[in-house]
Amino acid sequence: MTPRPRGKGSLDLPPHVEIDRKANGTSYFRYVLPNGQRKSLGKDRNEAIVAAMALNAALTRHPDIVSKILEVNRKVENKIPSFENGLKEFLDLRLSEKTYAVSTLEIIHANCDKYIEQWGNLNCSDMSLNMLAMFLKEQTPYQAEKHRSLLIDIFKYFVANGWAAENIAEKTLKPIRPKKVRQRLNNEMLAKIYAISPYWLQLAIDLALHSIQRRGDLVMLLRDAVNVKENTFTVLQHKSLNYDKPIYIEVDMHPELAETVFKCIAHSFRLRCPHLIATRPDRITEHNRIVKPHPYAVTEDHLTKQFQKYRDLSGACDHLEPRQRPSLHDLRALGIFNITEKYGKAYAQALAGHTTEKMTDHYLQGHEEPKPQKISFR
């Protein structure tokens, strides 16, 4: 930077020093940095001259100092936040525009906590493709898929605010999930599991098989979801509560479903529990009172674990590796197959709450081709 010409009274001052004379007659000396910023050198002329000469010598010998000063100034002017602050703004503003289930929000916030722990001290513009790629490689394929999707949304927000030059998350490779190894449940396997299950679990299995609802909806089904007089079954599927149009099912009960529902009602009446799936626990803890809507209601986790317990005790799946053995959710696929074969795909699709036939076909994969037929059951 070329020094400015000196006026009278300033000829003895080193380059880049200026005098700020106040109305009270006091003079202050300031040093003009290469980026235009001014730093005070105090009121003492001799001390100001010595400091300015030292600064001029340092900046002349070390031109990289100039570039660092300019870079710092550029960052201050652009107001690029740290990754942590940028992420917090994304969570506060961007996520509020979308509607997520509570469980989904918990996962998003937990993942963001991992990002802050990993990269919180960096600026948004300092993030590199290698950082994201290495992080994704450390995850399982399923986890990496979820992380990549979230990171793409985060960097899309960063780019829109000028905090990052490009969406580097989009440049990472899409994870490849391993092929599903779990085998389909068939009626022969289920018969063995059913035979040794306790009565309440038998009712739960029958309800899952004939209503083809997800476990979250099964455990929340109440007696008033059934209209005995009209022979109808009503479900508001909890997975769809955040959809623009939640899936509300009201269908005629086929004979097997009606019979199962009446048994569930009788059983829940005896326990004085409003839920169709109910059982008297060995003991009622304070934790159970908090997490359960009724002391005799069944949680999703308990239902899943009890099905796995009696599946393994029955020996029905001993020929399969543990990862290949069907789970409680496979009752939904088997039920869709049975109902499609007996009452037609359209009814199975309506009862399952599928908006497209393609999703119903997905559940039918792995079972033998059902025979299409249309039967009236009213």
pLDDT of residue 76: 45
* Other residues' Cβ atoms within 10 Å of the Cβ of residue 85: 15
CA–CA separation, 118 vs 342, rounded Å?
A: 54
- pLDDT (tens digit, 9 = 90+) per residue, 72-112? 555 444 578 889 999 999 988 877 666 676 777 888 888 99
pLDDT of residue 354: 84
User: Above 80 in pLDDT, residue 114?
Assistant: yes
> What residues does 18 pair with on adjacent strands?
30
User: Above 60 in pLDDT, residue 5?
Assistant: no
Domains detected in the chain: 17-78 (no CATH), 83-171 (1.10.150.130), 187-364 (1.10.443.10)
User: Above 50 in pLDDT, residue 375?
Assistant: no
pLDDT range class, residue 377, cuts 50, 70, 90: low
pLDDT of residue 198: 95
Instruction: Give, to the nearest 10 degrees, the angle between helix 330-343 and helix 345-352.
Output: 140
User: Above 80 in pLDDT, residue 182?
Assistant: no
Outline where the chain has alpha helix (H).
45-61, 63-78, 83-89, 102-119, 129-137, 141-160, 187-196, 199-211, 215-218, 255-271, 286-291, 300-314, 330-343, 345-352, 357-364
Sheet holding 38-42, edge to edge: 17-21, 27-32, 38-42
Tokens at 20, concatenated: 């700020």
| DSSP assignments along 315-353, one per residue | TTTTTS-GGGS--TTHHHHHHHHHHHHHH-HHHHHHHHT
Tokens at 361, concatenated: 């076909």
Average pLDDT, integer, range 341-368: 84
Half-sphere exposure of residue 107: CA atoms within 13 angstroms, side-chain side:
10
Of 97, 99, 96, the residue nearest 244 (C-alpha): 99
Helix (H) or strand (E) holding 249: strand 248-252
User: Above 50 in pLDDT, residue 288?
Assistant: yes
User: Above 60 in pLDDT, residue 184?
Assistant: yes
CA–CA separation, 112 vs 104, rounded Å?
A: 12
pLDDT of residue 353: 83
pLDDT of residue 261: 93
Residue with tokens 């529902």: 261
> What residues does 227 pair with on adjacent strands?
232
Coil vs helix vs strand at 37: coil
CA–CA separation, 182 vs 176, rounded Å?
A: 17
pLDDT range class, residue 224, cuts 50, 70, 90: confident
Distances (CA, A) of 212 to 21, 133, 360: 86, 40, 11
- pLDDT (tens digit, 9 = 90+) per residue, 292-345? 888 899 999 899 999 999 999 999 999 988 888 999 999 999 999 999 999 999
Coil vs helix vs strand at 302: helix
Asked if residue 179 lies in contact with residue 142, where contact means CB atoms within 8 angstroms, the answer is no
* Other residues' Cβ atoms within 10 Å of the Cβ of residue 92: 9
pLDDT above 90: percentage of residues in the chain? 36
CA–CA separation, 260 vs 264, rounded Å?
A: 6
State the chain's mean pLDDT as an integer.
83
User: Above 90 in pLDDT, residue 259?
Assistant: yes
Tokens at 87, concatenated: 């992420």
| Cβ neighbourhood burial of 204 (10 Å; 0-12, 13-18, 19+) | buried
pLDDT range class, residue 369, cuts 50, 70, 90: low
pLDDT of residue 176: 82
User: Above 90 in pLDDT, residue 236?
Assistant: no
User: Above 60 in pLDDT, residue 256?
Assistant: yes
pLDDT of residue 188: 93
> What residues does 30 pair with on adjacent strands?
18, 40
Asked if residue 1 lies in contact with residue 34, where contact means CB atoms within 8 angstroms, the answer is yes
Start-to-end C-alpha separation, the chain: 92
pLDDT range class, residue 274, cuts 50, 70, 90: very high
Helix (H) or strand (E) holding 18: strand 17-21
Who wins on pLDDT, 360 or 305? 305
Who wins on pLDDT, 187 or 25? 187
| Cβ neighbourhood burial of 245 (10 Å; 0-12, 13-18, 19+) | exposed
> What residues does 42 pair with on adjacent strands?
29
pLDDT of residue 55: 83
